[in-house]
Structure 1
């Protein structure tokens, strides 16, 4: 399991601060960021990778994020597109079920 693409994407994501924007979905976006970030940290710290429960949670988060990303202001959209890409990279490492 090659962790370097995820580690690189995680480093880039961490290097960017939380975007400044006004949205009624800001709380939900913050939660999605926190949960996906937690999955990344777990993955990078665990030799086994993501467990089935985290894979399910990650899929749900990415589905929610996809619906919210389109409604965002253009200035903050790259942050959440990168977050989504990070989640997609994680899912690509999961064993096929």
Structure 2
């Protein structure tokens, strides 16, 4: 079920347009979107799941994204909330507890 949930959410994210941002953090958000999306594609294309370097990168990206989300406006936050959910779902098997 998790794989299917991530695949469906990924399709929704892929079909969404990049939001119109008026934020000084647009470049960082674009980078986070690119890196997290790359991890999603890797996960969906391999049977092994994420390797340790990708898990570490994804954790860092999620922390950075969490720090930027409170500053986003309501009209753009759904795009990045979905991105955060994708990262959280990918990391769930690697989270202790």
Q: Same fold (TM over 0.5)?
A: yes
Aligned length: 96
1:53-95 deviation line (CA, Å, top 9, x unaligned): 0000000000000010110111000000000000000001337
Kindly report which structure 2 residues correspond to 1:46-65, keeping only aligned pairs within 5 A, or say none. 46-65=46-65
Gaps of 5+ in 2: none
**Equivalent residue, structure 1, for 2:72:** 72
| Runs of 4+ with >4 A deviation | none
Gap regions ≥5 residues in structure 1: none
RMSD of equivalent CA atoms: 1.4
TM-score where L is the length of structure 2: 0.93
